[in-house]
Amino acid sequence: MKKDFPRKTVPPNVKRKTLEIARQFRKEPTRSEHLLWQALRGKKLDGVKFRRQHPVGNFVVDFYNSVYRLVVEVDGSVHDGQVETDQARQEILENLGLNILRVKAETVEKDLPIYLMKFARKLLN
Residue 26 lies in a domain: yes
What is the chain's pLDDT, residue by residue, as a tens digit (125 residues)?
445 555 557 888 999 999 999 999 999 999 999 999 999 999 999 899 999 999 998 899 999 999 999 999 999 877 567 788 899 999 999 999 999 999 999 999 999 999 899 888 878 77
Distance CA 34, CA 12 (A): 29
Looking at residue 73, which CATH number applies to its domain?
A: 3.40.960.10
CB 56 within 8 A of CB 96: yes
Nearest CA to 71 out of 47, 95, 106 is that of 95
Q: What is the pLDDT of residue 9?
A: 78
Q: In angstroms, how far is the first alpha carbon of the chain from the final one?
A: 21
pLDDT of the residue at 10: 84
State residue 122's pLDDT score: 79
**Count of all residues that appear for the chain in the document:** 125
Backbone φ/ψ region at 80: left (φ over 0), alpha (ψ -120 to 50), beta: alpha
Report yes or no on 50 lying in a domain: yes
**What's the confidence (pLDDT) of residue 74?**
94
Residue 48: DSSP 8-state:
B
- Give me the pLDDT at residue 27, please: 97
Asked whether residue 1 is domain-assigned, the answer is: no
In a domain, 96, yes or no: yes
Question: Where in the sequence is the domain holding 23, given as residue range(s)?
Answer: 7-124
Residue 86 within any structural domain of the chain: yes
In a domain, 94, yes or no: yes
User: Is 2 inside any structural domain?
Assistant: no
How many structural domains are present in the chain? 1
Given this model, what pLDDT does residue 40 score? 96
